[in-house]
Amino acid sequence: MTMKVPFVDLKAGIQPHRDEYLAQITDVVDSAWFAGGPKVAQFEKAFAEYCGAEHAVSVCTGTDALILALRALGVGPGDEVITAPNSFFATAEAISLVGATPVFADVRDDTLTIDTAAVEAAVTEKTKCVVPVHLFGQVADMEPLEALCKQRGLLLLEDSAQAQGASRGGRRAGSIGHAAGFSFYPAKNLGAFGEGGAITTSSAEIADTLRALRDHGQVGKHNHVHIGYNARLASIQAACLSVRLAHLDEYNAGRRRAATRYGAAFAEMAGVRTVHEDPAGEAVYHLYVIRVANRDAAAASLNEAGVATGIHYPVPIHLQPAYASLGLGVGSFPVAERAANEMISLPMYPELPDEAVDYVIDCVRKALG
């Protein structure tokens, strides 16, 4: 028996709530309030509450969220920002775009989130901020990072783009650092019907700066106090995001159900490692990643059997051509580099049927011979 298993299926999550989305879109069309307005305010309030933060400021993309958050935290030219090399490119890109220098610290081999000891070793007099990435939907080791940042007077910005609803020690992603950046790219756990992003923070001052930055630095009409951006979230996106947010816990539970089924099978299978889920937290499985020795052959065998796969990410950020000027060659971050050569992302979405999970597990077993 063969099956076609897609990597994600956005329709499966949207179709059951089609009428709710269309009602929201109709509201926006009828009000003709397309930028800002009540839909944006409603979504921001609900998202802040969901994350356990005082404020949420919506923006156009997750990349904007990181850029504006860094700006609002006062990060700029001359500053160093420590982050993980095994993330989507945008994490480091945002640091560079505000004029600061990304400094990478290697990750833990089991969870693939940033290693606090490596962060500590990378701190210099120029370090201003640390940006842990809640990779694949798992919150990084925030308690030791918070302690380190407090001790060294550093700011802490969570890259929560993959972690809407994830928690650690009972605290949700977005409520732990001085600020957190979220992406609502359609394939993220909380996805818009286009691009979207937000920053959460519990500082009223940071939130006010963010609201100004996203609107050309304006504080009051025609009073531009910062060189800002046009980074406002469209009302129609906010309206659709409110519907998705109301169902986010169900979606995340669906992801965890599939992840638990994968995990139970792979725990018994020789030649496969999974990404360890630290019992201190609850991951939301934006991606389900396994590690195998002969990655390219295994992925080809899975694809042959009808199983779509991905690699997140095949080239660590420090080895990307855009960062050649940092002079960080192969061997700079051995844990992240080894993982990049071993990882395969398997199909993962909230409605992934058990039979499909079982089929993928079977195909992985066959792929490993």
- The residue among 4, 40, 61, 83 whose CA lies nearest residue 317 is 83
- Residue 288 Cβ vs ligand PLP, minimum distance, rounded to whole Å: 15
> In angstroms, what is the minimal distance from the CB of 195 to ligand PLP?
6
- Residue 96 Cβ, how far from ligand PLP at the closest point, in Å? 13
By beta-carbon proximity to ligand PLP, the closer residue of 91 and 209 is 91
Cα–Cα distance measured from residue 41 to residue 48, given in angstroms and rounded to the nearest whole number? 11
Among the listed residues 47, 110, 60, the one whose alpha carbon sits nearest the alpha carbon of residue 90:
60
Tell me how far apart the terminal alpha carbons of the chain are, to the nearest angstrom.
Answer: 18
d(CA 106, CA 320): 16
171-172 and 167-168 as β-strands: parallel, antiparallel, unpaired? antiparallel
State how far the Cα of 256 lies from the Cα of 282, in Å rounded to an integer.
9
Name which of 91 and 345 has its Cβ closer to ligand PLP. Answer: 91
**Residue with smaller CB distance to ligand PLP, 136 or 359:** 136
- Which residue number, 185 or 262, has a Cβ lying nearer to ligand PLP? 185
Q: Phi and psi (nearest 5°) for 301?
A: -65, -40
User: Which parts of this chain interact with ligand PLP (CB under 6 A)?
Assistant: 61-63, 87-88, 90-91, 133, 159, 161-162, 183, 185, 197
Complex with ligand PLP: residue 86 or 242, whichever CB lies closer: 86
Q: Are 284 and 161 in contact (CB under 8 A)?
A: no
Tell me how far apart the alpha carbons of residues 164 and 183 are, in angstroms, rounded to a whole number.
Answer: 9
Locate 209 and state its tokens: 């700066």
As given in the structure block, the two tokens for residue 287 are: 């991606």
CB of 70 to ligand PLP, least distance (A): 12
- Closest contact distance (angstroms) between CB of 306 and ligand PLP is 26
Question: Distance (Å, rounded) from C-alpha 192 to C-alpha 333?
Answer: 34
Closest CB 301 distance from ligand PLP, rounded Å: 27
**Smallest separation, CB 79 to ligand PLP (Å):** 19
CB nearer to ligand PLP: give 87 or 138. 87
| CB-closest chain residue to ligand PLP | 62
The H or E element spanning position 299 is helix 295-304
The amino acid occupying position 211 is R
By beta-carbon proximity to ligand PLP, the closer residue of 161 and 173 is 161
> Which of 185, 266 has the CB closer to ligand PLP?
185
How many CA atoms lie less than 13 Å away from 285 in the CB half-sphere?
A: 31
Q: How far apart are the C-alpha atoms of 44 and 242, rounded to whole Å?
A: 9
Q: How far is the CB of 106 from ligand PLP (least distance, A)?
A: 17
Contact 165, 192 (CB under 8 A): no
